Chain A
Amino acid sequence: MDPKPNDAVIDELIKRRLDEILPQKIEQALAERREKTPGSMTIIATKGTLDWAYPPFILASTAAALGWNVDVFFTFYGLQLLRKDLSDLKVSPLGNPGMPMKMPFGPGWFQHINWNIPNAVQSIVPGFETLASTLMKQTIHNKGVATIPELREMAIEGGVNLIGCQMTVDLFGFSRDDFIPEVKEFVGAATFLPKARDADVSLFI
């Protein structure tokens, strides 16, 4: 039986009207939802040197300061950043041509010199890494940039979730006791990936 002509006309009118108003309603609802939900970020931190410690902690603590929900997954060498004692963090200039090597002391013109020490020299001189790390820490202090322990503390205060990779703990024979008690949990990739899926920003550092 054919539908009554009125129904067909009504359907057509409804369809046309929906086409007109739906896109706008949808945009509005999405915008409202975006306004109401806080931003979210996940970071996978895989490096354990002094220079690479900065990006995850700065980004995480700043995002938390902006009201975002932040989860950081420390895996592989990144787990070193969750140690109780961070004084051993080092940076190596060896094979690191992007690293400026300037002295953090002396007159202005002296501090501007970029010392290009050849790799061959760096690898032979014992304690070069320790020296470079000390100079880097001094530079950081001079410029009023936070230390890693400070940044980590602020991240924790800001509500950043610090998550450890259980596999890495086993792999390198670490014990949970080596790490700060504020670590939220030790999990695997299967637990972390769904968090990354839902986050607005997902970073691999």
Chain B
Amino acid sequence: MSTLRRITNLFHRSKLDQEIEAELHAHIEMRTADNIAAGMSPEDARRDALLRFGNRTVLKERVTAADAHMFFDSLWQDLCYGLRMLRKSPGFTAVAVLTLALGIGANTALFSVVNGVLLNPLPYPHPDKVVTVASWFPEGGEGSVSYPDLVDWIRDSHTFSSLAGYKSFQSFTWARQSNAERVSAVQASYNFFSTLGVAPTLGRDFTPAEDQLGAAPSVILSAPFWKSKFASSPDVIGKAMNLNGTDYTIVGVLPSNFYFCCRNINFSPGDVYVPLSATKNPLFSDRKIHPGIYGVARIKEGVTLAQARADMAAIAHNLAVTYPDADKDRGVAVTPVKQEMVQGIEPFLLVLLAAVGFVLLIACVNVANLLLARSTGRAREFTIRAALGASQGRVVRQLLTEGILLAICGGALGLLVAAWGTSAGLSILPSTLPRAGDVRMDPRVLLFTLIISIVAGILFGLAPALKTSHPDLHETLKEGGRGASGARYRTQGIFVVVEMALAVVLLVGAGLTIRTLVELWSVNPGFDPHNVLSFEVGFPSALAGANVSPEQLRADLLQVTDKIAAVPGVQAVSLMNGAVPMSEEDDLTFWIDGTPKPATENSMPDALWYSVGPDYLKVMKIPLLRGRFIGPQDSGTSPGVCVIDETFARKYFGNHDPVGKRLDFNLIYKQLEIVGVVAHAKQFGLDENASAPLQAQMYTSTLQLPDQLMQAFFSSSGFIVRTAGSPDAFAGAVRSAVHDFNSKTVFFEPDTMDHVIAQSLAARRFTMMLFGVFATLALVLSSIGIYGVISYIAGQRTHEIGIRIALGARRADVLKIVLGQGVRLAVIGVAIGLIAAAGLTRLMTSILYGVSTTDPLTFAAVAILLTLVALLACYIPARRAMCVDPMVALRYE
């Protein structure tokens, strides 16, 4: 009988009932008619017809019973029976369900993160068609495009339905009636939002005309900004916002779920968005300047990524031919936007997913062990059932049903664990994870949980099921329920070994991430990040637009610096622009005076460029190695000077003294004299190594920037301060000092250098913490596992131990026997685990630093730790066995 039909019948049971009823009715009618024809009275005829059937309800039941008995009812029986069994041993059930809840919960939590970050589509229409477009530098990877190149890209590309540019990390001083505040801004092409497929919820998008040089300034607000500053008022459209002294008309408000973020090609959401091309920017006129502009594009329907790349490669080639000075050897990187977003985080998540899978495996092994131990107790039950004619399949199915039942209970509880764990995890490190907002329990996560629960249930239900499905009737019944055969111990022994091995792999993984972090924390960044506060100051002179003289700006900078320096507890203060260690990059190409000028921009040497004040070394505690640092005497009118770091000196001057040499520049500066050499300070994070693309560093004075650049750079300036104690305690005082200079200045983005460094390690710390949690879980679960097995085996051997003691075995011998059995299993497990770990940790190479994937210290420590824990776990049952009273043990029989 087909199972499917039986199942459908079950669901259509009432329909089936009606059919049977109708059929019986027809039968009775026909019989009655025949009876009448044979001469009976109608009443007798009908009674006779009915009598022949007996009880009709019973008959109907008998007809349907043909189905129900066969499949679903027996499943229902299994379920009821399983539930009864679980209820009968609440301790076992609680331990099993809790174990599974932890295992499944951890998996669900991590999967919901993976699902949100890696699997879910981005909130744009046809997100797979959206790509980022950036310059490609053979030596440095993706980078910003110059404005003239962007214009050429837009004009010449054929494979995009639209291509838009954006420049992030801008900020404006917003003048309101009473005060001024700082707003972050993104300059974007008019078609930036339409390229992504996002439309303003209020008002309209930019028009092409608004994105022309000299167009009337317009602005689109982000939803959070609109909500907090305009109380979500719908009549902001058409109102003016005074940004940097110019009135911008508000034309639209973005949807609240607008999301765009890229790791490599900097994008940071702005409070406001303004057209890219509307305002004149001196940095936009030169093809050699890469002012932080990047592109985003939508590939035309029917065009592949490869075709788009080929198209852009051809354009890059043409540009290189036409403008060799600026564009020689430069390519274009076209990257799917999702790949851009999750880059860097993917290896961490995948390693963690593997780790958490191991935790679930250990949990399964543990529960399988419990079930196996219990099934030994139930061996008689199953043997009797088999003897009474239950098929093997029937018994296996019942055990599997019990297993899946347990797993689903565990999964349900695991969902709670996951919901709690995810929110706790995300609140610890909200900013490190791209798309953290997309992490939630959606149907896919629930489905995942259901599937892993069922798979887990089958996994651990199968072991005892297979074990008990071949019961040797004779043996089991004869043994009088002790059911202790060597083979069963072997299965449990294998479980313990597997569990130990899995735990070793996890612990080694956790150990390696911990060592990586310890290693990184002990790295000297080249500067002292403690008690350093960094912040930005927005200047009121910017409010007057471009009409402030460079002299005035320099004077303002000096005055603010003096005001901050006068704050009690401030030990040193410096301007900090251009590159910032561990967070922002900026570089400048140069060539050494006296050598021929390189033919193209791309063939020039390049150095990280820090634009600072005289006290920078004091703030950062970077040692001066030769000559002098920038001093107060280096003003806007004195000859230009610069200071280089030891890497720069070694790379470009070898053993010669660089002090007194000159550097020539194509951009920004003409010529600067090197006046000193300082130690190297790490720019690219604590894990920066010799292979980082850009190592040479150069310091110049912010006050010596050429006049025409002062205005472009300084609607605001960065500052950095060394404080006498915790920098956070001084932020308030510094803020009032800045306001003291002018009430319209804006103090914003305060941060501490310690925090910046911590942020640079956040992904690793996140991994380490999760790995730590998983490894601890593994350790606890596997020690419970080995404890359970050894106490079980010892319990089963009570009789034997009693005899041994009665025959004169010493208690110490008994201890040795039981302990030895456990330790042997543990050692085998640890050995296998170490071998497996040596193979698997290779997958972690990209997230480790300063520690080999087969770090002997970690491996040895894990091996010792786990063996000790196993020893401890076995000691308790071993002690119990040692104390067996032979009389009791024997009488028990």
Q: Do A and B come from one complex?
A: no
